[in-house]
Chain A
């Protein structure tokens, strides 16, 4: 132990490339997710401009198809999920009183595979066109003759990113199962930790199905397989089943963490314990369970028959029950509470009616005969944007304002926050409310233009104006971030008078999080101590040296290996004009190189154990004094 500091600690960019600290990885996820969120937002704006007027020719039909595919894919896989993971990383270990996640190395690997997968997918813009088949990539449209090479980028990019997602799911499950502080029983866990737990379980059981689905798609497109080729005995409906067995849990993977964020924010800013805590936990688990039983409601018009449609319809409606429990619990938490309308709380309060509207149209869509009318119209677009923007994005924005001080040590400007809120709230409803009616009036989704005189001109124009309002809101948020970073006030440890453990330590927390692991004595552990007049948590262990995992470049290199392997596979039989490139790719050299890097790094990780390093007691006390 005398050689505890022998490990090298990196600085600057190398620090970020090699970090295994959950707080830094959280920031990386948050930053990369925000970048892709802007990208997906720009794609949405371009589409809305194209639809602003009938027969407008701002972008071509092909470009529009690429935009709509990349908007959906980017927002779901590369923006919403990473932002959720950002919060999970930044907050969950703190909420359960842990020093890190169960697998810090795999955590870093998860981030870098997501990053390189997203990079690969987006490079398709510069190499002959992005995928143009919708985020659902239905076959036969997504098979070889009917679509561009972009679909290969879709299947391989998401395959690589999916590895990271799966690792994250496992990591957070193991973290929450094994690493809770003494006294932190399952039924004392904060709701965000609970929703992370259930979401991680959904990831674990949903993502592998998608992984196999896109693997089969890759086989069909690049290796002459016949899974989806009807002429060779393949089955197109098989893809839809595989996709939606993953795809429906996926939307709960997005919304459950948002539910968790809203629960934290509503409880904190109402200065009340969350109403019906145990029913909240129950509802979360039930939503997660039912989420796997309803995938065929995306396929009512495929022709599965009335019995299947009726069963899946009823199962879908059942989900409204636990969701309703949650909605009422939030309202009852606010009821009689001492509410402070900070920006986070305003977003949380606006979340409730907005999300409920998305839920109600969801129940409407769950009625199979009615769904035959709504199917593939703008009604569906309106519905899922109410759940994903009115639900997930409102939740993420609430979380951003709520946890920003904890993550970055500074409080976002509340005045600018209010501008962000109002422009976003109004813009959101302006954009999507009218789309329900557009759908009922017959406008199909995924069309790049329409003829005038069908009553669609004004609603589309209104919808586009709303989209611009949301863009303004995002710009204001970015300005807020810049201003806060440059001259924001340093946040104290507990700026919101919080209830959970993350507020009991400094903002931002030191690398080891807790100097001594806290003893948890009830729900809202920190609040309980504060109510008894204490300033900090009772420690559950003596002050002792803390063992930390060492940094490593291997996660980055492994992901780079997968990236190279992915490129090698996409172009393994492409006919290049350049003879040298052709030789590199067609001889499978590139693919093999990528595989060698990946498996080689894996072997290195196994052969050379990471001794980590210790933070000594003197250093802990020194930091205490400085803080």
Chain B
């Protein structure tokens, strides 16, 4: 171990994620990465808005979307984002137990969101709205599914951090990981807000 992450008195610096150059680099780099992610999702949104009226003989957005279910999913994901904030706050208090607890709860809510999304997709398929049934289908599943894949990746990432924190504890090496995973989780959440408004709400009011 390099001496930078060894703290004889067990104290972390006030902002442990920014205490080392590696940590600061990771935060800068990750914000930049999120900029690139925005273009990824922006392109998928562009494709969706170009193609969303091409439903052929399949169901239209108005017929498909059931807002109560989507609202529940939204509530779950937004709450999970709040929990990841609590995790970072606990980390800043150098409270390993609470950090892990909030991370664990974030993962649980993420899993519930994913379960709802899978249920939703299965339901749509049973109504004849498939990936290959129309251009609307392709662009819908590409956009929302890409977000779902981000959620799934985030769950794996947060779980990995949840597990390694037990062994490694909170150090200036692990702190940036918690911070970045939380940043990622917020980002995935923000994208969902756009999907919720632009795909589901707008799909309900304007076909």
Say whether A242 contacts B135, CB under 8 Å. no
A233–B1 touching, CB < 8 Å: no
Residues of B with C-beta under 8 A to A169: 32, 36
Query: Contact string, B115-153, partner A, CB cutoff 8 A, digits 1/0?
Result: 000000000000000011011111100100000000000
B36 adjacent to A207 (CB under 8 Å): yes
- Closest chain A CB from B116 CB (angstroms): 24
Do residues A224 and B47 form an inter-chain contact, with CB atoms below 8 A? no
Q: A177-B28, A226-B138, A238-B47 are in contact. Are A232 and B160 (CB under 8 A)?
A: no
Q: Which of B40, B131, B160 contacts A224 (CB 8 A)?
A: B131
CA distance A103 to B22 in the complex (A): 8
**Do B28 and A174 touch across chains, with their CB atoms under 8 A apart?**
yes
The reply to whether B2 and A216 form a contact with Cβ atoms under 8 Å apart is no
Residues of B within 8 A of A211 (CB): 40
A238-B131 contact in complex given A103-B29, A603-B160, A606-B177, C-beta closer than 8 Å: no
Residues of chain A contacted by B136 (CB below 8 angstroms): 233
A174 to B25, CA, bound (A): 6
Chain A, residue nearest B25 (CB): A102
Give the chain A neighbours of B15 by CB distance below 8 A. none
> Out of B28, B36, B55, B164, which one reaches A205, CB within 8 Å?
B36
Instruction: Judge whether B39 and A209 touch: CB under 8 Å.
Output: yes
CB distance from B30 to the nearest CB of A (A): 9
Question: Is the pair B25, A178 in contact by a Cβ cutoff of 8 Å?
Answer: yes
A615 to chain B, nearest CB (A): 13
Residue from A205, A216, A609, A614 whose CB has the most chain B CB atoms within 10 Å: A609
B173 within 8 A of A: yes
CA distance A607 to B163 in the complex (A): 9
B172 to chain A, nearest CB (A): 11
A477 to B186: give the CA distance in the assembly, Å: 52
Q: Closest chain A residue to B159 by CB distance? A: A603
Q: Is B33 an interface residue (CB 8 A)?
A: yes
Taking CB atoms and an 8 Å cut-off, the chain A residues in 562-599 that contact chain B are 599
The reply to whether A606 and B131 form a contact with Cβ atoms under 8 Å apart is no
Of the residues A208, A220, A232, A612, contact of B37 by C-beta under 8 Å: A208
CA distance A226 to B32 in the complex (A): 32
Binary A-proximity of B37-77 (CB < 8 A = 1, otherwise 0): 10110111011001100111000000000000000000000
Check A611/B2 contact, CB under 8 A, given A226-B132, A235-B135.
yes
Q: Give the docked Cα–Cα distance between A179 and B42 (Å).
A: 31
Contact in complex: A227, B28 (CB < 8 Å): no
Q: Decide yes or no whether A302 CB sits under 8 A from chain B.
A: no
A166 to B24, CA, bound (A): 19
When distances are taken between beta carbons in the complex, the residues of chain A under 8 Å from B3 are: 1
Q: Is A9 an interface residue (CB 8 A)?
A: no
Q: A205-B36, A242-B47 are in contact. Are A607 and B164 (CB under 8 A)?
A: yes
**Chain B interface helix/strand/loop/mixed:** helix
A219 on interface, CB distance cutoff 8 Å: yes
Partner of B43, one of A234, A235, A242, A547: A242
Q: Which residue of A lies closest to B24 (CB)?
A: A178
Among B51, B55, B173, point to the contact of A227 (Cβ < 8 A).
B51
How many Å from the CB of A275 to the closest CB on chain B?
32
**Cβ B36 vs Cβ A226 within 8 A:** no
Residues of A within 8 A of B37 (CB): 208
Interfacial chain B residues near A207, Cβ < 8 Å? 36
Residues of chain B lying within 8 A (CB to CB) of residue A227: 47, 51, 135, 138-139, 142
* Interface flag for B205 (CB, 8 Å): no
Q: Are A170 and B36 in contact (CB under 8 A)?
A: yes
In the bound complex, CA of A235 to CA of B54 (Å): 10
The reply to whether the CB of A171 lies closer than 8 angstroms to some CB of chain B is yes
| A interface size (C-beta, 8 A) | 50
Query: Residue on B with the closest CB to A215?
Result: B142
B35 within 8 A of A: yes
Task: From B35, B50, B132, give the contact of A204 (CB < 8 A).
Answer: B35
Main SS of chain A's interface residues?
A: helix
Q: Is the CB of A224 within 8 A of B132?
A: yes
Taking the closest CB of chain B, its distance from the CB of A99, in whole angstroms, is 10
Asked whether B206 is an interface residue with its Cβ less than 8 Å from the other chain, the reply is no
Contact in complex: A102, B43 (CB < 8 Å): no
Residues 244-272 of A contacting B (Cβ, < 8 Å)? 245
**A212 in the interface, Cβ–Cβ < 8 Å?**
yes
Task: Report the bound CA distance from A68 to B168 in whole Å.
Answer: 54
- Within 8 Å by CB of A234, from B32, B51, B164, lies B51
Shortest C-beta distance, A541 to chain B (Å), equals 13
Min CB gap B46→A, angstroms:
7
Please indicate the chain A residues that have their CB under 8 angstroms from the CB of B44 in the complex.
212
A223 within 8 A of B: yes
Judged by a CB distance under 8 angstroms, whether A321 is at the interface is no
A170 and B32 within 8 A (CB): yes
Find out whether the CB atom of B138 lies under 8 angstroms from the CB atom of A103. no
Residues of chain B within 8 A of A215, CB atoms compared: 142
Tell me the bound Cα distance from A208 to B43 in angstroms: 8
Query: A204 vs B30: C-alpha distance in the bound complex, in angstroms?
Result: 12
Contact across chains for A212 and B33 when beta carbons are under 8 A apart: no
A120 at the binding interface (Cβ < 8 Å): no
Bound CA–CA A547/B3 (angstroms): 10
When distances are taken between beta carbons in the complex, the residues of chain B under 8 Å from A219 are 138, 142
Given A208-B36, A226-B137, does the pair A235, B29 have CB atoms closer than 8 Å? no
CA distance in complex: A255, B206 (Å):
44
Question: What residues of chain B lie closer than 8 Å to A206, measured between beta carbons?
Answer: 39
| Closest A residue to B134 using CB positions | A233
Chain A 195-242 interface residues, beta-carbon cutoff 8 Å to B: 204-209, 211-213, 215-216, 219-220, 223-227, 229, 232-235, 238, 241-242
Report the separation of the CA atoms of residues A609 and B26 in the bound assembly, to the nearest whole angstrom. 14
How distant is the Cα of A86 from the Cα of B22 in the complex, in angstroms? 23
* A209-B135 contact in complex given A174-B32, A204-B35, A204-B36, C-beta closer than 8 Å: no
| A212 touching B40 in the complex, CB below 8 Å, given contacts A102-B28, A173-B32 | yes
> Measured between C-beta atoms, what is the minimum distance from A235 to chain B in Å?
5
Tell me the B146-178 residues at the A interface (CB within 8 Å). 156-157, 160-161, 164, 168, 173, 177
Q: Is the beta-carbon distance between A208 and B138 smaller than 8 angstroms?
A: no
Given contacts A173-B32, A177-B28, contact A208 B160 (CB under 8 A): no
CB distance from B78 to the nearest CB of A (A): 25
In the complex formed, the residue of B with least CB distance to A166 is: B36
The smallest beta-carbon distance between B22 and chain A, in angstroms, is 9
- Expressed in whole angstroms, the Cα–Cα distance for A229 and B139 within the complex equals 12
Chain A residues contacting B50 (CB-CB under 8 Å) are: 235, 238
Known: A225-B131, A611-B1. Is A212-B43 also a contact (CB below 8 A)?
yes
Residue of A106, A169, A208, A241 ringed by the most chain B CB atoms within 10 A: A208
**Contact status B36-A102, CB under 8 Å:** no
CB proximity to B under 8 Å, residues A1-36 = 1
Q: Which of A177, A213, A238, A606 contacts B51 (CB 8 A)?
A: A238
Digitize B1-37: 1 where CB-to-A-CB distance is under 8 Å, 0 elsewhere: 1110000000000000000010011101100110111
Alpha-carbon distance between A52 and B161 when the two chains are bound, in angstroms: 62
What are 19 A-B interface contacts by the 8 Å CB criterion?
A170-B29, A170-B36, A171-B29, A173-B28, A204-B35, A205-B39, A216-B138, A219-B142, A220-B138, A223-B131, A226-B54, A226-B138, A232-B56, A241-B46, A242-B43, A603-B160, A606-B164, A606-B177, A611-B1
Interface residues of B (CB under 8 A from A): 1-3, 21, 24-26, 28-29, 32-33, 35-37, 39-40, 42-44, 46-47, 50-51, 54-56, 131-132, 134-139, 142, 156-157, 160-161, 164, 168, 173, 177
Per CB-CB distance, the 3 closest pairs between chain A and chain B, nearest first, are: A233-B54, A233-B135, A224-B132
